[in-house]
Copies of this chain bind each other. A is one copy, B any other.
């Protein structure tokens, strides 16, 4: 059902590309040269060579012409032509790009091609299209962008003009998308990160190397504290392992063969090759291997907040997501085969608890399998893959977990359960993974002595609890639009003085709250209260306390809550509350991570 709807909107979008082409031809005449015009994820575009440069100012006229074409209810007529006939047609029409396409088709051995005729515009295209233009709803689409685009994406070809549009099933859906896009722009973590002074970047340091300011660092430390506390409760042991290691280590682990393209180049130090680690697993395995292990010690759950280095396209580096180094809430559970299922279940419980604590509700699971064709990415051992994948399937089915399947999404050493979510731009992202590893315990000769005194190879689960700290921060910024829950807010309470007479009281109050482990800032500047409140609202502080004569006399605090406001803005409503009660209230929230 979902798929059919998607097909339908793809047909609408594709048809709109033709309508755009026809409208452009009508307005700008026979000198327009046509490139191609496909449907896109949320709309369509067409590339043109135009007799004169256009701008967004021309959109009104083009859009009006498109709507006219829709009202004319013109049919799309399909017609098969011999290649030669098509060539003659476009030669006559002086359409060099279409001729270029035909040349390619001819080289591929095509004898026939399909044309679509829409009124006076005939396009080389295989469809499918709508039957008639009248099927499109006026108001369901809009032109959105004009930009240069090289013919066939090749910089050595001529640059054409690409006119793009957005198109949805109806006017309401389009409006919703536009509003959401507007909101996404506002919520972009790079924008908010700067506005709320959470992190900065520096050309001198480099792209993809964000620097967390004191405010951003508070969020990070709260997240780390959560991970450490929660993992301790669940029996994890912590490690600190180095970020550099000999290349030899990754030769042995298999990273060098299967993961090298994601690794930075090696460093030659005094004749030995070292590399920045892309993963923590082999490091923690060295701790496991540092002494003999007994079956009674297992499971061993080694956790680390591990800085890692994986190569990204340098052109794509930005914000907290596309980064050169990141910190993973990592762990490796080394267990016996009979413990695998219960350990997997416990990991999933921790992941679900983490998502709940972070306020993430919209997520789903993907069972990520190997691609037997991809010999470069994956260890080539069919039996091991089949065994591990079916063990994992049994575990997932026992847990009655619903999941999608993702072929070619596994780690090189085993299948994964991925926790998927959609970021603010609507893109799907993997937040957390739980992996079963059939390869490394053997490669590293990991052993334990079973109850009969025999050597056994343990199983390993690779997992994260809240994923990468940086990425999680970015997600939280976008999800909350910077209005973080109290426990994560860099400043939890802002105290504002009405006048000079109230400064001392404010300072005393601030000290008292600080002593109760509440993060406070005072604004004692010689400004109007309105201006100071406005500033605190901009900073999205959860609680604003204004101190004037009335408050000092009454002994009650006048608190403006961010939460009571529908726009998530602080300070629209005021309530009076005893100081002790307020401290208790906020302390509860902090303690319970609300």
A264 CB contacts on chain B under 8 angstroms: 267, 269
In the bound complex, how far is the Cα of B517 from the Cα of A228, in angstroms? 14
Establish whether residues B242 and A205, one from each chain, have CB atoms under 8 Å apart when the complex forms.
Answer: yes
A244 within 8 A of partner (CB)? yes
A440 within 8 A of partner (CB)? no
Establish whether residues A211 and B246, one from each chain, have CB atoms under 8 Å apart when the complex forms.
Answer: no
Q: Which stretch (A2-10, A216-224, A452-460, A533-541) binds chain B?
A: A216-224
Establish whether residues B200 and A287, one from each chain, have CB atoms under 8 Å apart when the complex forms.
Answer: yes
Give the residue among A200, A202, A216, A218 with the most B Cβ atoms within 10 A: A202
Nearest-neighbour CB distance to chain B for A472, whole angstroms, equals: 14
What DSSP secondary structure best describes chain A's contact surface? mixed
**Total residues of chain A contacting the partner, CB 8 A:** 54
A237 within 8 A of partner (CB)? yes
Establish whether residues B239 and A206, one from each chain, have CB atoms under 8 Å apart when the complex forms.
Answer: no
For chain A, residues 281 to 327, give those with C-beta under 8 angstroms from any C-beta of chain B.
282-283, 286-287, 289-291, 302, 307, 309, 311, 314, 324-325
Establish whether residues A239 and B213, one from each chain, have CB atoms under 8 Å apart when the complex forms.
Answer: yes
A186 within 8 A of partner (CB)? no
Residue of B206, B216, B246, B324 touching A205 (CB-CB under 8 A): B246
Establish whether residues B311 and A206, one from each chain, have CB atoms under 8 Å apart when the complex forms.
Answer: no
A365 within 8 A of partner (CB)? no
Establish whether residues A243 and B243, one from each chain, have CB atoms under 8 Å apart when the complex forms.
Answer: yes
A274 CB contacts on chain B under 8 angstroms: 206, 324
- With contacts A217-B238, A267-B267, A311-B269 taken as known, whether A286 is within 8 angstroms of B205 at the C-beta atoms is yes
Nearest-neighbour CB distance to chain B for A322, whole angstroms, equals: 13
A180 within 8 A of partner (CB)? no
For chain A, residues 243 to 269, give those with C-beta under 8 angstroms from any C-beta of chain B.
243-246, 248-249, 252, 264-265, 267-269
From A233, which residue of chain B is reached at the shortest CB distance?
B514
Nearest-neighbour CB distance to chain B for A310, whole angstroms, equals: 12
A555 within 8 A of partner (CB)? no
User: A179-213 toward B: CB 8 Å interface, digit per residue (1/0)?
Assistant: 00000000000000000010010101110011111
A362 within 8 A of partner (CB)? no
Establish whether residues B243 and A205, one from each chain, have CB atoms under 8 Å apart when the complex forms.
Answer: no
A286 CB contacts on chain B under 8 angstroms: 200, 202, 204-205, 211
Give the residue among A212, A213, A274 with the most B Cβ atoms within 10 A: A213
- With contacts A283-B211, A287-B213, A302-B214 taken as known, whether A204 is within 8 angstroms of B239 at the C-beta atoms is no
Give the residue among A204, A213, A245 with the most B Cβ atoms within 10 A: A204
Nearest-neighbour CB distance to chain B for A266, whole angstroms, equals: 9
A241 within 8 A of partner (CB)? yes
For chain A, residues 24 to 66, give those with C-beta under 8 angstroms from any C-beta of chain B.
none
- With contacts A200-B290, A269-B264, A307-B307 taken as known, whether A211 is within 8 angstroms of B242 at the C-beta atoms is yes
Residue of B200, B206, B228, B290 touching A213 (CB-CB under 8 A): B290
A374 within 8 A of partner (CB)? no
From A270, which residue of chain B is reached at the shortest CB distance?
B314
In the bound complex, how far is the Cα of B197 from the Cα of A286, in angstroms? 13
- With contacts A204-B248, A249-B205 taken as known, whether A314 is within 8 angstroms of B269 at the C-beta atoms is yes
Establish whether residues A214 and B242, one from each chain, have CB atoms under 8 Å apart when the complex forms.
Answer: no
A307 CB contacts on chain B under 8 angstroms: 243, 307
Nearest-neighbour CB distance to chain B for A173, whole angstroms, equals: 40
In the bound complex, how far is the Cα of B204 from the Cα of A65, in angstroms? 70
From A208, which residue of chain B is reached at the shortest CB distance?
B242
A272 within 8 A of partner (CB)? yes
Establish whether residues A324 and B244, one from each chain, have CB atoms under 8 Å apart when the complex forms.
Answer: yes
From A194, which residue of chain B is reached at the shortest CB distance?
B290
A240 within 8 A of partner (CB)? yes
A267 CB contacts on chain B under 8 angstroms: 264-265, 267, 276
Nearest-neighbour CB distance to chain B for A201, whole angstroms, equals: 9
Q: A211-B283, A307-B307 are in contact. List 20 more A-B contacts (CB 8 A).
A: A200-B286, A200-B290, A202-B249, A204-B248, A204-B249, A204-B252, A205-B249, A206-B242, A206-B246, A206-B274, A211-B240, A212-B239, A217-B237, A217-B238, A221-B238, A243-B243, A244-B324, A264-B267, A267-B276, A269-B324
A-B residue pairs in contact (CB < 8 Å), sample of 24? A200-B290, A202-B249, A204-B248, A204-B286, A206-B244, A206-B245, A206-B272, A206-B274, A211-B242, A211-B290, A213-B290, A214-B302, A217-B237, A217-B239, A218-B238, A242-B324, A243-B307, A243-B325, A264-B267, A265-B267, A265-B269, A267-B276, A269-B314, A274-B324
